[in-house]
Amino acid sequence: MRQKILQLLRDNSSGYFSGEEMARMLGVSRTAIWKNIQSLLLDGYHIESSPRLGYRLVRVPDLLYPAEILKGLKTKIIASGPELIYHFLQVDSTNTSLKKLADQGAADGTVVIAEEQTAGRGRLGRSWFSPAGKSITLSILLRPSLAPGNTPLFTLMTAAAIVRGIKNILPDISVGIKWPNDLMINKRKVSGILTELKAEADLLHYLIIGIGININSEEKDFPPELRNIATSLFLENNKTKISRQQLLCEILQELDDAYRRYFLENPAFIIKEWKKFDITLGRKITVKTIKDTFIGTAVDLAADGSLILEEVGGKKRQFQAGEVTLV
Ligand code: BTN
């Protein structure tokens, strides 16, 4: 009912829609209309009401409600229907929530979106900071049938899809990917990806791809220790606000396109796509692994997405995981 009311108000955005007329068109009582309008107001929809004229939709909140997201999506797998989108105002971590849903059998393409995380997780055991309502924090469940060894490619695919999504909205922004999946603007991190999986030795049960993007955060929103290393699209876009709804739709669309392409084409396209936005290869870098730190030049990616480093003296090493610093 809420969606139908919203649709009527949207279609008539220039003027008022009388409660009586709406009730007649939807075959419900005027009280039912009033109750639904109250619930929309509580969710942040700005609807003006006049006793004589009726209701008018003034502004839709920039919250990532499934109904708002679905309006802008033509995806075929990821978030392709209302039953595949879970939206929460607050969760501990979207990856953790989605894992519970995945263990209960949630379908390929299910997404969990949160306005705020109280215990967001980053790579290598770190935490992920994101202020309420100013970021995108989302996790995507994928159930491709493949061997667990292929999963790093999905993280690279996601990083490239996020860059594409951002560039669809902000074509001039110079966002690049630091291997494997840190999105950087002007040497500061704007987005990160945490991929987790459930697998047996040879069989992948599912993949959870967690995405965090700093969108409309201002400097003061970041804790002091992050101010020099993190940034947001707002800060890099002349302090102009960005619609989180629009950006989320662009990213989901790009990722859905890439995910479907993966089943049709040689997966080499992922590395090719990733390289278009790469800022790592050809650079002098350090790679920190759990055991050691290595220094050299990033020379290429292997077919499975691992990074090839050439040390002084020509010795080559390959890394499947690690923290890269551009020197
Ligand atoms: C990193 O760069 O360290 C990865 C950050 C990933 C953060 C996202 S936010 C949504 C999802 N839920 C989490 O708890 N983490 C990921």
Q: How does pLDDT run along the chain (327 residues), one tens digit per residue?
A: 888 898 899 888 778 999 999 999 999 999 999 999 999 998 888 999 998 899 999 988 888 989 889 988 999 999 999 999 999 989 999 999 999 999 999 999 999 999 999 999 999 889 999 888 899 999 999 999 888 888 899 999 999 999 999 999 999 999 999 999 999 999 999 999 999 999 988 889 999 999 999 999 999 999 999 999 999 999 999 999 999 999 999 999 999 999 999 999 988 999 999 999 999 999 999 999 988 999 999 999 999 999 999 999 999 999 999 999 999
Between CA 7 and CA 64 the distance in angstroms is 17
| Residue reference for tokens 């969990």 | 112
Give the per-residue pLDDT at 251.
98
What pLDDT is attached to residue 90? 92
The number of the ligand 1 atom at minimal distance from the alpha carbon of 212 is 9
| DSSP letter (8 states) at residue 134 | S
Q: Which atom of ligand 1 is nearest to the CA of 191?
A: 2
Separation of CA 192 and ligand 1 centre (Å): 6
Residue 307 phi/psi, 5-degree rounding, is -95, 135
Give the helix, strand, coil percentages of the chain, each rounded to 5. Answer: 35, 30, 35
Half-sphere exposure of 37 (CA within 13 A, CB side): 23
Task: State the pLDDT at residue 130.
Answer: 87
**Close Cβ partners of 324 (under 8 Å, ≥ 6 residues apart):** 178, 179, 182, 280, 285, 286, 287, 288, 298, 307
CATH of 284-326, one of 3.40.50.12780, 2.30.30.100, 2.60.40.1890, 3.30.930.10: 2.30.30.100
Measuring CA to CA, which residue among 250, 308, 267, 309 is closest to residue 78? 250
Q: What is the pLDDT of residue 249?
A: 97
What is the CA(208)–ligand 1 centre distance, in A? 11
Ligand 1 centroid, distance to 187 Cα (angstroms):
19
Question: Tell me, what's the pLDDT at 290?
Answer: 87
Domain(s) labelled CATH 2.30.30.100 in the chain stretch across 284-326
Query: In sequence order, which residues have a C-beta less than 8 Å from that of residue 61 and are 6 or more positions away?
Result: 43, 44, 45, 46
If one residue of 115, 181, 194 were mutated to test the ligand 1 pocket, choosing by the most ligand atoms within 8 A of its CB, it would be 194
Closest CA to 209 of 145, 288, 121, 135: 121
| Contact of 148 with 197, CB cutoff 8 Å | yes
Ligand 1: which atom is nearest the Cα of residue 120? Answer: 14
Q: How far is the CA of 195 from the centre of ligand 1 (A)?
A: 8
Look at residue 1 in the predicted model and tell me its pLDDT.
87
Predicted pLDDT at 228: 92
- Considering only CA atoms, which residue is closest to atom 15 of ligand 1? 121
Q: Is residue 184 within 8 Å of 105, Cβ to Cβ?
A: no
How far is the C-alpha of 279 from the C-alpha of 294, rounded, in Å? 18
Question: For the whole prediction, is pTM greater than 0.85?
Answer: yes
* DSSP H helices in 123-194: 151-169
Judge whether 312 and 296 are in contact, CB under 8 Å. yes
Class of domain 66-275: alpha beta
Q: Please give the distance of CA 175 from its chain centroid, rounded to a whole number.
A: 15
CA count, 13 A, side-chain hemisphere, 121:
17
DSSP code, position 65: -
Question: What does the alpha-carbon distance between residue 229 and residue 227 come to, in Å, rounded to a whole number?
Answer: 6
Distance separating alpha carbons of residues 224 and 292, to the nearest angstrom: 28
* Measured distance CA(237)–CA(102) in Å, rounded: 37
Which residues pair with residue 301 across a beta bridge?
307
Query: Would you tell me which CATH number, out of the four given (3.30.300.30, 1.10.10.10, 1.10.3720.10, 2.40.50.140), belongs to the domain 2-59?
Result: 1.10.10.10
Give span(s): CATH 3.30.930.10, the chain.
Answer: 66-275
Dihedral (C-alpha) 113, 305, 263, 193: value to the nearest 10 degrees?
Answer: 0
Three-class SS of residue 224? helix
The H or E element that residue 263 is part of is helix 244-264
144/280 Cα distance (integer angstroms): 28
Please tell me the predicted confidence (pLDDT) of residue 305. Answer: 95
Q: Which residues does ligand 1 sit against, CB inside 6 Å?
A: 93-95, 117, 120-123, 126, 128, 137-139, 182, 192-194, 210-212
The ranges of the chain annotated as CATH 1.10.10.10 are 2-59
